[in-house]
Every structure is written in structure tokens, then in C-alpha cells.
Structure 1
Amino acid sequence: MALDIRRFFSTTLLGGYGLLVLGLPLAGLGYALLGSLGLAGPLAAGFTPRYWLALGANAGLLYSALFSTWVALVSVGVSVALALSLVLRAQPTLRRWPLPGLLYVPLLLPALVLAFCLFQLLSGAGWLARLSYGLEWIGSPADFPELVQDSAGLGIILAQVLLTFPFLTLLLQAIYQESRLDELRQLSSTLGASAGQFRGRVAVPLLLRRAAPTLLLNFIATLGAYDVPLLLGRPHPQMLSVFVATRQQFDLRELPMGYLAGFLVALGLLALIGILIKLTRRHAL
């Protein structure tokens, strides 16, 4: 009897979890697809391909995809480079207080809070601009360099690095200790390898390969980020999540376009996740 109850609860929990992570997203994708074809939603008036044709003639989604890819690649790349530098060159510091504790602090901040702090610090009317003007380094606060809401996405990249770099440092440090890289370093030194050769040929490939699934998930999460780009980004170009959301919030006539953009973005991210999972499994240790 106890075994049957256990089996019932496990089956129910697994079924509910499957419905949550598969059923609801698939239902949302189906509704978005129907809405983009004029078959669902407030503007449903029968099948029409005009929203697909209109989006094909509009380069906004492509620009958003390219801009999001740029921000995600640079953010994750800089975060990985900083984390590797600390893990491979500052082991004594990483093992002494307070640096290990300080790395947890940015992980406690919601993304929107960090973005708001950076906006107050780096915007043209922010603290650094007013301080620079007070010290007569610039002629007016408007002369302060554009570090947020800029065309290159520097503010978004900085926020994403501050959110990602501490986590990746803790992850790579755990892999470093678990893989006993200190012992491998001593062994390679005994065999005549230099410190640079050990880092470039042993440590970096091992750390990146073991951390590859997490790095890829961070890349996808940054690609679909919303809160930080909403506050620190420009109206154009927009990152993908902001592009999709604005098509669904401000103009009812653009709602089917928003459905279509959201459907294509979700489909693209799911395909990317599938490809990356296959690659990580193929090259996993």
C-alpha cells in the first residue's frame, strides 16, 4: 500500500512537472502561432499571412537578434576571461577572506536593482557625471561619455558581467579544486612545463570543457535578458525580449507581430538549446 501511494505521488509530481515545463510553453507557442496567423487574439479575423510578410519586410527583428548576440557573446566572454584570470592567477587570494564572500554579494542582487544602480552611477545625470562636472573635468554633465543607453550596449554588457562573473568564478574555482589542478600543476612543472604551458594546454581546456554546459546556459540567458536591457538599453537597437515585449504592449495593431516575433524567438532559442546540448554531450569529458 505504501509503495502504491509513493508511486502515485511520484507519477503525479512528474506529470505536473512535465505539464509545467512542456505543456504550458507549448500551449503558449501554439497560441502565439495562431495569433500571428490571425486565428487567435483580440484581432483575430480569419487566416492571413500578412503579419509574416510584414515581419519579413521589417529588419527590426534581425537587428535585435544581432545586437542580442553581440551583447551575449561579449558579456559571457569578458566574464569567462575575468573568472579564468582569478582562478588561475590568484588562488591564494580566492582562498582567503573576504574575496570568497564578496563574490556572493552580486548574486544576491536582483538584475533590475543592479541595472538601476548602474543607471544612477553612469548616466549623463548620474553621480559620476556630476562629480566630474564638480571637479571641472568636463564642461557640463552632458559631456560625460555615454556608458548607459548607448548604441554599443556597454551599460548592458557591464551589468551582465557584474551579474555573471562572480558566479563563473565560484564555478571554475570549484572545478579547479575538484579536478586537483594544483597537483597537476606541480606534476607538469616536474616534467618541465612552464606555468604558461600548464595554463594554456591543461588548465584552461579542462576548466572550459567542464563548465561548457553552464557557460552555454549563461549565454542563452543573456540572449533572452529583459530587465537589464529595458533600463540600460536604447529604443533602437533593442534586445530580443524587449523587442518582443514592446510589440505587445503599446500598439494593439502590432500585437500579431509581437506574437510572431515571440514565436520565432522562442523557437530559435529552443533550437539553439538543442544544438548546444548535443555539442556538449559529444565533447563532454
Structure 2
Amino acid sequence: MPGTVATLSPARLLLWLYGLLVVGLPVAGLAYALLGSVGLAGPLAAGFTGRYWRALGADTGLLYAALYSAWVAVASVGISTGLALLLVLWAQPTLRRPPLPALLYVPLLMPSLVVAFYLFQLLSRAGWLSRLSFRFGLTANLEDFPELVQDGPGVGIILAQVLLSFPFLTLLFQAIYQESRLAEYYQLTLTLGASAAQFRRRVAVPVLLRQAAPTLLLSFIATLGAYDIPLLLGRPYPQMLSVYIATRLQRFDLRELPSAYLAGFLVAAGLLGLIGLLRLTGRARDTASVP
């Protein structure tokens, strides 16, 4: 009886429901996608077949989407990290007095779709900046204004992701800076004859990046799988992975579904692999730090 009561307790029930939501349903979705990619599930299930996997080698769309998504994710996280480090290491007095600390929280309150819509209104060739440049004689027509959204390199997508992630990384690095007592180490290195540049390069940057590495990897994964921002600010081609998969799933041609299932399964498995690598790396680092 005690075991039964413990099993049915609200805390255990909550844990089971949480496990079902974050593990059970995603695993079931992955299994369905895998079965659909081999013809064993879905509207076109007609028996096991490997033709969709064989056709993947001839379809360059998924590869281009993966490369394009990786470029956007690397650029977004790299620029955000660089800007955050620049503020934390070179503007400590400014970060400690208002209004900058409060302003850093403002972008974190904005949904990604709102940020994308705002940048579209600001940076498109029919947007506010384009109209101002035309009004002041900087451009003669709409085509003279640079293509900053729905462009090939993904400038608009990268700007939106940086606007969302840069404030968060700044707050994260600032918290690590204070918890690691880097200000005291800075004074110590100056006393020992080192320069401020040497402290930043050899002490502060390695400490900040090492402590924030798991969060940076998660930010990379989140950007890699972003949907709202690429949907509004991206081009029909090339597309980021989430938009590429959703487009194939939503087509009227049901024959596209198995290929979409396969693409979704491979992307999800790859992202789960990255998360697993993150956990293994973190455990190895924790084990190595134990005396």
C-alpha cells in the first residue's frame, strides 16, 4: 500500500507526465517519421521500401538546407558571442549602471515572430530605412537600396537571431564574470605586471567561453532549428532546415510525405546527437575536474 500511494503521489504523477511530454511523444514522433520514410506508416504506407533513402543521395535540397542552416547558426552565434564578450570585457562600468542592464532584457521579452516582422518593416526595400534613404536622396529608387531581408546570404535572418541572442549572452557572460571573480583576477594580473589585453585574452575569454560552452551549443542548436524568423525573412531557396521540412510536409502532393518524414527524422536525430555530445562532454569535463 505505501508503494502504491507513493506511485500515485502528485509529484510522481507530474514527473511521469513531464517524461511523457519531453521524451515519450518526441520518441514516438521520431519512430513514426522513421517508419514513414521506409513505407511502413503514413498515408502512402504500402510495405517496406528503401527507395526514399536511396533517393536522398540524389536530392541536394536537404544538403543545401543543412549547409545554409549551419552557416546562419554559426554566424548568428559567433556575432552574438563576439558582441557580448566585447561589452562584458570592455564596458564593465556601463553594464553596472542603468539603463543598459534593464535594456538588455527588452529583446528577451519579444517573440521571435515579432522581431522578424519588425526587421522586415525596417530593412526591406519598401521599409522605413529604404524610404528614409530615398527621402534624403541617398537612393534613386527601391532597387538601389541593399537587399537586407529575404536575401541569399541570410543577412536578415542573422540580424534577427543576433538581436534575440546577443542580450541573453551578455547577461550570461556578465553573471559568469561576477561569479568567477574576474574583476579581482584582473587587479591581480595588473599587479603582477600583465597588461589588460593579456588578461582578456589569456584569462577572461577562456574562462567565459568554457563556462558558457553548453549554453552556446544549445543556442547553436536552437538557431539551427529556427522556423518563424527564416519563414518571414528568408527566401524560398535556399531554405533553413525547419522551413524546408515544413514546406515538404504541407505540399498537396502526398508522394512528398515519405521524403519529408526522412528529412525530419535525420534532422531530429542529428540535433539529438549534438545534445548527447554536449552531455558527454560536460560529464567528461566534470570528471576531469574531480581531484
- Calculate the TM-score normalised by the size of structure 2: 0.94
Quote the residue 2:89 is aligned against.
88
Provide the C-alpha distance between the structure 2 equivalents of 1:23 and 1:255, rounded to a whole number of angstroms: 23
Quote the residue 1:148 is aligned against.
149
| Structure 1 residue runs without a partner (length 5+) | none
Give the % identical residues.
Answer: 71
- Deviation for aligned residue 1:73: 0.6
Which residue, 246, 257, 263 being the options, matches 1:255?
A: 257
- Deviation for aligned residue 1:279: 2.2
- Deviation for aligned residue 1:276: 2.4
Change (3 A) 1:183 1:257: same
Quote the residue 1:183 is aligned against.
184
Deviations 1:68-100 (CA, angstroms, capped at 9, x unpaired): 111111100110100001001101100111000
Provide the C-alpha distance between the structure 2 equivalents of 1:217 and 1:281, rounded to a whole number of angstroms: 16
Amino acid at match of 1:184: Y
Amino acid at match of 1:99: L
Quote the residue 1:280 is aligned against.
282
Aligned residues: 285
- Calculate the TM-score normalised by the size of structure 1: 0.96
Does residue 1:118 correspond to 2:119, yes or no?
A: yes
Provide the C-alpha distance between the structure 2 equivalents of 1:61 and 1:210, rounded to a whole number of angstroms: 34
Q: Which moved more, 1:245-254 or 1:271-280?
A: 271-280
Quote the residue 1:206 is aligned against.
207
Deviations 1:1-53 (CA, angstroms, capped at 9, x unpaired): 99975663332222222221111111001111111111111122222222222
Amino acid at match of 2:283: R
1:1-285 alignment, distance < 5 Å: 5=5, 8-251=9-252, 252-283=254-285
Deviations 1:118-163 (CA, angstroms, capped at 9, x unpaired): 0111111111111111222112012210111111011100000000
Task: Describe the SS at the equivalent of 1:57.
Answer: coil
Provide the C-alpha distance between the structure 2 equivalents of 1:208 and 1:281, rounded to a whole number of angstroms: 17
Provide the C-alpha distance between the structure 2 equivalents of 1:107 and 1:215, rounded to a whole number of angstroms: 16
Task: Describe the SS at the equivalent of 2:57.
Answer: helix
Amino acid at match of 2:119: L
Provide the C-alpha distance between the structure 2 equivalents of 1:58 and 1:77, rounded to a whole number of angstroms: 30
Amino acid at match of 1:59: T
Task: Describe the SS at the equivalent of 2:46.
Answer: coil
Task: After the TM superposition, list the runs of 4 or more consecutive aligned residues in structure 1 that deviate by more than 4 angstroms.
Answer: 1-7
Change (3 A) 1:35 1:4: closer
- Deviation for aligned residue 1:281: 3.2
Change (3 A) 1:188 1:116: same
Amino acid at match of 1:139: A
Q: Which moved more, 1:139-148 or 1:13-22?
A: 13-22
- Deviation for aligned residue 1:170: 0.4
Provide the C-alpha distance between the structure 2 equivalents of 1:80 and 1:281, rounded to a whole number of angstroms: 24
Q: Which moved more, 1:2-11 or 1:12-21?
A: 2-11
- Deviation for aligned residue 1:277: 2.2
